[in-house]
Amino acid sequence: MKSLLHPISLDQVHELATMAKEIWYEYYLSIITQEQIDYMLDQFYHREKLENEWKSGNHFFNIGESEEPIGYLSISESEEGQFFIHKFYLKKENRGGGIGSRVFSEILKKYPNAKEIRLQVNRMNVASINFYFKNGFKIEKWADFEIGNGYEMNDYIMLWKQP
């Protein structure tokens, strides 16, 4: 089976902003306001921020079986066997068909030393929370993060542990 994960070079990482904008507007308008989406995209997806994340050890991947990406992923290892998924997004037409689970399987193959994988997910994002449950994650805790401009992220920290 063809790999779904394709590494993104430092020169390409800024291209994620375009796909992020498409996915976030389509997905998050039912969860947070357009103003908050605009603010978060500006804060998290500007060129310098993405390049700094890449340089600090975050691994970025386009997701897809062809040259045209259908999503993207960012993951880092904080200490031996401890990983954090920073970004994991699929375009609307590619959700719900098993691609996300295939991506997670590939993550486990790519990082066989993974003992724990954490991520943050908005507490109102029921579809994603259920996806993570299906793939072995549990809610570790909930947390609120002030992100500036009067906005907060109200998230669950979810944890996958090696069986």
Residue 140, pLDDT score: 98
- Across 38-43, average pLDDT: 96
Q: pLDDT digit string (tens) for 41-64?
A: 999 999 999 999 999 999 999 999
Q: Average pLDDT over the chain, rounded to whole?
A: 95
Query: Is the dihedral angle over the CA atoms 154, 57, 6, 15 positive or is it negative?
Result: positive
Residue 146 to residues 41, 44, 87: CA-CA distances in angstroms? Answer: 15, 14, 18
Q: pLDDT digit string (tens) for 66-103?
A: 888 999 999 999 999 999 999 999 999 999 899 999 99
Residue 138: Cβ within 10 Å count: 11
Q: Is the pLDDT of residue 119 over 90?
A: yes
Helix (H) or strand (E) holding 5: strand 5-7
Task: Give the tokens for residue 1.
Answer: 């089976």
How far apart are the C-alpha atoms of 163 and 156, rounded to whole Å? 21
Residue 112: Cβ within 10 Å count: 8
β-sheet with 71-79: strand ranges across: 5-7, 59-63, 71-79, 82-90, 116-122, 151-161, 138-148
Residue 80, pLDDT score: 95
Residue 67, pLDDT score: 83
Q: Is the pLDDT of residue 1 over 80?
A: no
Domain coordinates in residue numbering, the chain:
5-161
pTM: 0.94
Residue 66, pLDDT score: 85
Confidence grade of residue 2 (pLDDT, cut at 50, 70, 90): confident
> For 5-161, CATH number?
3.40.630.30
